[in-house]
Structure 1
């Protein structure tokens, strides 16, 4: 599955002021983004992968346009998948990216 190139460009633009941003191809054709060496989000062909941390997944799944992130039939414990309707505006996308950055800032 190819990633959404327009969303990837928006993510790059919004993350750029916040540290050393690196994007890398993911298994399955998506694109992951790391900030200062920590993976925080990704873009797939179906949505935005957001790293919110294992303690926040359950409550985040209750929000509109959010579903579980699965890879190889297994649910990822620290990530959610946001449907495109959940990040139509740059403001909404920036909010999701901020949540991911806030979580990865807690990592060693």
Structure 2
């Protein structure tokens, strides 16, 4: 996976105060999930991808250097913006976009950290179902 490692490190530092952050390979770069929601990312060209409130997109595009994000030549849904690498060269500029992304993240998550137990619960349910099937001695015959 190729992405701008310097930008990713700066994003990592900017998100260091968030309680639940996970990094995921996504959109051909490195995306940062906050509270299990995609929030911001570094792409291959050093540009910043920002998930923001769809209600703010028009104003942000008009008033800042951000553009609607595109994937494979198609405009993504409202709420996805891309900011060119040279527009986030200064920490203050990056911090602005991190804040925009975190504001929307708080709105969609209620500001509450996601529970990490979801995957564990699903695994536990599968194990319980297997045990119940094994105890009953039944097997599916495919009929």
The structure with more helix, counted as a fraction of residues: 2
- How far did residue 53 of structure 1 move? 2.1
Corresponding residue for residue 42 of structure 1? 41
Query: Deviations along 1:3-26, whole A, 9 cap, x unmatched?
Result: 111000110011011221111101
Matches within 5 A, 1:22-61: 22-27=22-27, 29-46=28-45, 47-61=47-61
- Ranges of 4+ aligned residues in structure 1 off by more than 6 Å: none
Unaligned ranges ≥5, structure 2: 110-143
**Higher gyration radius (CA):** 2
Query: Deviations along 1:32-73, whole A, 9 cap, x unmatched?
Result: 101111111111123000111211111111134311201122
Q: CA RMSD in A?
A: 1.5
Corresponding residue for residue 100 of structure 1? 101
TM superposition score normalised by structure 2: 0.69
- How far did residue 101 of structure 1 move? 0.3
Q: Distance in 1 between matches of 2:71 and 2:36?
A: 22
Unaligned ranges ≥5, structure 1: none
CA contact (8 A) 1:3 1:44 kept: yes
TM superposition score normalised by structure 1: 0.89
